[in-house]
Structure 1
Amino acid sequence: MLLFSYIANNSFPKPLSEEEEVKYVKLLMEGDEKAREVLIERNLRLVVHIIKKFEGSGEEFDDLVSIGTIGLIKAIKTFNSGKSTRLATYASRCIENEISLTKASVIYWKCRTLHPSLEVWLLQ
């Protein structure tokens, strides 16, 4: 609900500075759930920016936002701060991958439902 409030008001929180990002990632590694929430909230603008690439692809905007947010959460969970990559760079790849994989899965299941003989062919 928080994300949709930001979208409706077109007022996202500012992205984290590099110093803030390092601080919150370190806190997250120590088990601070509040840091996780801050990292998610402050990177929601990135999700909306990335899903704009997928508009007009047949998916509902709300669905793309949800899928993109899942990608962001996975990115935060698996981010390795020991590398020289910033979280936003890593997260953008994870968000795009999550959307692409979900779209591919939807296409696969639609084909499988519409063309049962395709399933037999795919399994050979």
Structure 2
Amino acid sequence: MQSFPQPLSAAQETVYLRQYQNGDMHARDILIERNLRLVAHIVKKYMNSGKETDEMISVGIVGLVKAVNTYNFEKGSRLATYAARCIDNELLMLMRGDRKLSREVSLYDPIGTDKEGNEITLLSILEQEDEDIIDQLDKKQSLRKLSKILSKVLTPREYFVVIRRYGLYGHHETTQRELAEQLNISRSYVSRIEKKALEKLRLQLN
């Protein structure tokens, strides 16, 4: 299992939480990154579930991002206590979900429909967003490689945006506007995060 940075002390956590409360998104990223070790710790409980570790880590990070976004430090408990419940909930939903992500799904397989009922594939979405990425993808490449590198090359915020935008890991596809509301940022900022994440993936898949 990959190594993660050491957690923050209680004093450091309070400083960053206050900074994030005042709109500092860098502080928010630090809170996420310095609690990644907690994700790995909770994932260990599910090591015999049959799920791949990378997938569980990725889903756990989703729970961590939700925790940081919704945490109210005025209530007195440590962020880790609240985050542990959010991470565990996401993992439990993964275990109980009716839909299982196939590790061998093709980029051409349908992942949803548009407003007119037309089939949408991951390939068609990525083509719309950035032609250069698809030009450098092997068209026979499965989502297996993509899913393995997502959590390794993207920041937690970039990862959250990508899996929600494209409906990965059983999540419903989310618009940039909806993501902007969830993350309390502008739609144009979501667009910049998404484009930066796609560029990172393009480089990895080159």
Asked if Structure 1 and Structure 2 have the same fold, meaning a TM-score greater than 0.5 normalized by the shorter chain, the answer is yes
Q: What residue is the counterpart of 2:17 in the other structure?
A: 25
TM-score (norm 2): 0.47
How much does 1:109 deviate? 3.3
* TM alignment of 1:12-51, pairs within 5 A: 12-51=4-43
Structure 1, unmatched stretches of 5+, are: 111-124
Q: Deviations over 1:86-106 (max 9, x none)?
A: 00010011000011012212x
Q: Which residue of 1 aligns with 2:74?
A: 82
Aligned-pair Cα RMSD in Å: 1.3
Deviation at 1:62, TM superposition (A): 0.5
Q: Which amino acid aligns with 1:85?
A: S
Q: Distance in 1 between matches of 2:94 and 2:46?
A: 12
CA distance in 1, matches of 2:20, 2:76: 18
Q: Which amino acid aligns with 2:70?
A: T
Within 5 Å, which residues of 2 pair with 1:1-124?
A: 7=2, 10=3, 12-105=4-97, 108-109=98-99
Q: Percent identity?
A: 49
Q: Specify which structure has the bigger relative contact order, considering alpha-carbon pairs within 8 angstroms and separated by 6 or more residues.
A: 1
Equivalenced residues, count: 100
Rounded to whole Å, the distance in 1 between the matches of 2:93 and 2:53 is: 17
- Partners in 1 of 2:90 and 2:65 — Cα distance? 11
Normalising by structure 1, we get a TM-score of 0.76
2:99 alignment partner, SS class: helix
Q: Structure 1: how far apart are the matches of 2:76 and 2:51?
A: 34
- Matched residues in 2 for 1:95 and 1:41: separation? 14
* 1:17 CA displacement: 0.7
| Mapped partners of 2:99, 2:31: distance in 1 | 33
